[in-house]
Amino acid sequence: MCAHLPPSAASVLATLLEGNERYATDAPRHPHQGRETRASLAEGQHPIAAILACSDARVPPTLVFDQGLGDLFIVRNAGQVLTPGALASLEFAVLELGVSLIVVMAHEACGAVRAAAATFGGDDVPEGHLAQVLAPLAPAVAVAARRGDADEGVEALACRSGEAHLRMTVAALRNAGPVIATRVADGRLGVAGLSYELASGRTHLTAP
């Protein structure tokens, strides 16, 4: 499935993909959502994975992977950007909660990525804090622009920018020292990138 992942991380990824298959085929189990689960989680959490995902309302990781309360430690922001706060939160999941897998979850038709592509080159940069959201996406857009046609439209550029951003984020996480990089190197932690299709509900593994 994913040769670069250590066995523990590969097993967790398989669990997530199995859950996604149930979700995509309208056969979810909705596990770990009852009274007993809530009571047990009052004593602490033991998630099986950490997810860095976009804030997009159409992409709820717990539902997409057919998991329940306490199963996933989720960090979300516009465009699933590896901000200092996001990295610190993921390090917490590794150090304090013992997760063996971090998933970077991208999705098609991401509004943040499209906006970054549309404003590439400095045109129509939004005012206020929105500009700060788009700035971390600019390197991926630049990579995608160099590989495309000069006259391609925004949609094509945005699609390839999203793919580039996912790969770059996975690579950056794997090398984020000292906490994550060390554990990736010695086989205690795996990092994988998945891309989500809005209409089908399916996630696809994206090689780094």
Task: Note whether residue 1 is domain-resident.
Answer: no
How do beta strands 203-206 and 190-196 pair?
Answer: antiparallel
Closest to 162 in 3D by CA, of 86, 206, 108, 82 = 108
Answer positive or negative: Cα dihedral of 143, 147, 151, 152: negative
Task: Note whether residue 138 is domain-resident.
Answer: yes
Domains in the chain: how many in total?
1
86 vs 98: CA distance, rounded Å: 17
Q: What is the mean pLDDT of residues 50-71?
A: 98
Q: Using the predicted structure, report yes or no on whether residue 154 has a pLDDT greater than 80.
A: yes
Task: Note whether residue 62 is domain-resident.
Answer: yes
Kind plus residue range of the DSSP H or E element containing 72? strand 72-77
Residue 98 φ/ψ region, left for φ over 0, alpha for ψ in the -120 to 50 degree band, beta for the rest: left
117 vs 75: CA distance, rounded Å: 24
Q: Using the predicted structure, report yes or no on whether residue 131 has a pLDDT greater than 90.
A: no
Q: What is the mean pLDDT of residues 24-53?
A: 95
DSSP three-state, residue 20: helix
Task: Note whether residue 2 is domain-resident.
Answer: no
Task: Note whether residue 176 is domain-resident.
Answer: yes
Is residue 62 within 8 A of residue 106, CB to CB? The reply is: no
Task: Note whether residue 165 is domain-resident.
Answer: yes
Q: What is the mean pLDDT of residues 106-127?
A: 84
94 vs 174: CA distance, rounded Å: 13
Per-residue pLDDT, 207? 62
48 is written with which tokens?
A: 């099986």
Is residue 195 within 8 A of residue 166, CB to CB? The reply is: yes
184 vs 4: CA distance, rounded Å: 10
Q: What is the CATH number of the domain that holds 12?
A: 3.40.1050.10
71 is written with which tokens?
A: 């199963």
Per-residue pLDDT, 176? 96
Residue-number span of the structural domain to which 146 is assigned: 7-205
